[in-house]
Structure 1
């Protein structure tokens, strides 16, 4: 029996190193299992202070360990731009479900952070429950009234609790050469709260290729850009604000992605 088990794991190990498709599937399975484990194992502790954003620090630590297991490293730049004594809307480019690890790195360096996600995530228990316990705001995108209520309550949280709301302005995952057009939701939240926008750009995930089923180890550069003020601006300034923000993020995305691509090529 022991020999059969050893042989089974030997076969898995060989497949992991010789088959990129097997490695791709295996890494996503590892990511999913460890993400659920990291979130659910701390639920008893989080129940002591439900909805407290600090609860996220526990599963975030687990996510950062998962990144190491997957062979991923993050380099963080622009720490001096972090909002310390103020709330705001943090904008992040959205590339993959692996962006959960991006959030884990942000939670480590920024306090009072929470996330707005679609309501369907709540039903992915136990992860959905854990996310609720660390303060995640769930919205029903198909219900404008509840979405509007969520936006209003979010604005209050930014003003009164100096919360940092983490949002993905592209609205959907995209690992292409540039960023998708930005949705207006995050900018409405910032204008309503007269809160600064804090763009955070992660370089392109060159280590990940869904089409060819490839998931290698890799380096990611996370750049925290200077805050963009919204105080005194109105809805009439919305389009200009979106254009300014996206332009700044696209520029950094191109620059850091190229840097990572050159670095990655030199390692092969």
Structure 2
């Protein structure tokens, strides 16, 4: 509740000159990272931040292992708009903060909601604000990367902006799908890969999807082999 009050203050003070909500988003990054900071058994390593823009359109895509992904991706400390389940926006304090940030709600399986999500993302990209999506659509039950949906890649091709792959490892131990208990120890790693332009894949949505997924699978395997 205290952190949400802080978010309200940041929103009120910065809205007149920060219409894209960059400052509030960075405050939200700090809020989320507090949960990592206060747990001495949770460790986070972020590599490749230099590939992320402070300004400019980009579609960030990340694999999805657990609810802990949200915490560690806020550790990117770069501006972007989340695409998240609409039900999350109803959560007290955290969900209200998502509304203040003007993140993008989505009802999975609802075609109208998907259409509204795509339009909202296009608007943010047109305003040179990156968006972040989980192309698997939902959390993986076993940590293995599932098939990708093509929405994120349609956005990149239509808006002519790069896709930036973000590979997560170690987060499945924080709160796996269908898990009820937070794991006491976790070593989380976020690896940001270089941007991939749609033109490099002939502006073909499926080719772009397969290329990016291949890069992410290879990088995930490389990181896990080193552990």
Coarse TM-score class (shorter-chain normalised): 0.7 to 0.9
Going from structure 1 to structure 2, the CA distance change for 1:85 and 1:69 (only over 3 Å counts) comes to closer
Secondary structure of 1:42's aligned partner: helix
The count of corresponding residues between Structure 1 and Structure 2 is: 220
Name structure 2 gaps, 5 residues minimum. none
**Higher helix proportion:** 1
Instruction: Return the TM-score normalized by structure 1.
Output: 0.72
User: Which residue of structure 1 lines up, in the alignment, with residue 132 of structure 2?
Assistant: 166
> Which structure 1 residue ranges, 5 or more long, are not aligned?
1-35, 261-268
Deviation at 1:212, TM superposition (A): 9.6
* Equivalence for 2:162: 196
Partner of 1:265: none
Say whether the 8 Å CA contact 1:38–1:63 is kept in structure 2.
no
Q: Which residue in 2 is equivalent to 1:248?
A: 215
Conservation of the 8 A alpha-carbon contact between 1:175 and 1:204: no
CA 1:225/1:197 → structure 2, altered by over 3 Å: closer, same or farther? Answer: same
Question: How many angstroms does 1:199 deviate by?
Answer: 0.4
SS in 1 for 2:198: coil
Which residue in the other structure is 2:21 paired with? Answer: 52
2:36 matched residue in structure 1: 67
1:133 and 2:94 aligned: no
* Contact 2:167–2:192 under 8 Å retained in 1: yes
SS of 1:195's equivalent?
coil
Q: CA 1:204 to 1:257, structure 2 compared with 1: closer, same or farther past 3 Å?
A: farther
Structure with max Cα Rg: 1
Partner of 2:198: 230
Deviation at 1:40, TM superposition (A): 5.1
In the other structure, the counterpart of 1:13 is none
For residues 205 and 84 of structure 1, the distance between their equivalents in structure 2, rounded to whole angstroms, comes to 25
